[in-house]
Chains A and B, each alone.
Chain A
Amino acid sequence: MDSRTRATGDTVVVVPMHNEGTVGAAVVSELLRTFDHVVCVDDGSGDDSARVARDAGAVVLRHSVNLGQGAALQTGFDYALRHTTAERVVTFDSDGQHDVGDAHAMVQVAKDTGVDVVLGSRVRHGDHGAPLLRRMILLAALHYSRWSSGLDLTDTHNGLRVLSRAALETIRITQPGMAHASELEAAISRHRLSWVEHPVTITYTDYSRAKGQSNVNAFNVLFDLAVAKLQTAP
């Protein structure tokens, strides 16, 4: 961990959080060991997530009402564009399922190759920790994403990504809820942004399972996407 070179100040890490008071601090301090600039977007939490994140050293943006993860990410993107000179943004889930080392490696890939978007992919690494039903739903989501975006993805709805400033200027997330992941993929394809996938590990703990998306919500995501597709169709 400490042998790693510190990422310079040209990267902002955006962490959307909702009622993450228990693990939020650990996630933030772990990120701050590698990244200088961590921005937590507290999405109308009912607990002390915002205070915990601020005490841990993050910049905290607070939605006074709960809007959804997509909206929280876009708020973080707006912050990065308006109030920082960051070259790129890392999106990182607040429930502790991502590995900071993966994020650092992905930033390195973005720097070395100059691609607009680096997407974390758990499948490439062998997704051993996920429960069976979750794997099946992810597989269905993956097929949908590949079909609708036309991108040759190996994973979808993975919260770990690196987006360049140029990408942020073209992508605008309008799906407030979880459908934003597919919306993002569609935007990559529509704006012809360059992208690569990078293998990441996901730690499925009891906490992240409890916090994570319920499988039933997959239906809601699909419904949101279908409606959005119909509305944007010419």
Chain B
Amino acid sequence: MIIKLFLVGSAIALCWWVLRGGRRSSTLAFTRAAGLGLAAGWIVAVLFPGVVTALAQSVGVGRGTDLVLYVGVVAFTFGSVLQRRRAHELEQRITVLTRSVALLEQQVDLRHPGEDRTAPVVP
């Protein structure tokens, strides 16, 4: 009973998290749909374990746990790829930003000589 509460609860939490995150509309829609689908499947699988086994056998997987594992791996992989792409986009934004700051700073230095902005960057 407690484990069911926990699993259903975490599914709802995941749902809420997916609905709040994201930025670009098409990727966002996909992420949301996938998240909702996963959460729905999750709840169904917890409440009616027999359904998963039946579904697994109907799609040619022997056991329900195997199906869950497969779906889990696919979902994880999609998630990782999405994160990687987001990290890359972010990196590019930081590059553009840092570059314009560097060019601006130099222009400011030209107009206001004397101020020393050359101290090392402390991470």
Contact = CB atoms under 8 A, between A and B. Distances in A.
Interface of A: 41, 44-51, 54, 59-65, 67, 71, 74-75, 78-79, 82-83, 174, 176
Interface of B: 91-92, 94-95, 98-99, 101-103, 105-107, 116-123
11 contacts: A47-B120, A48-B120, A60-B118, A63-B98, A63-B99, A64-B98, A64-B121, A65-B121, A71-B95, A71-B98, A82-B103
Contacts of B106: 59-62, 79, 83
B99 A46 contact: no
A196 B121 CA distance: 39
A72 B27 CA distance: 31
A74 B99 contact: yes
A51 B109 CA distance: 13
Interface of A is mostly: mixed
Contacts of B95: 67, 71, 176
Contacts of B117: 62
B90 to A, nearest CB: 12
B99 A75 contact: yes
Given A61-B102, A71-B99, A176-B91, 5 more contacts: A41-B102, A62-B102, A62-B106, A64-B98, A65-B94
A79 B103 contact: yes
A63 B102 contact: yes
Interface hub of B105, B107, B121 (most chain A Cβ within 10 A) = B121
A188 B121 CA distance: 35
B104 to A, nearest CB: 10
Nearest to A21: B120
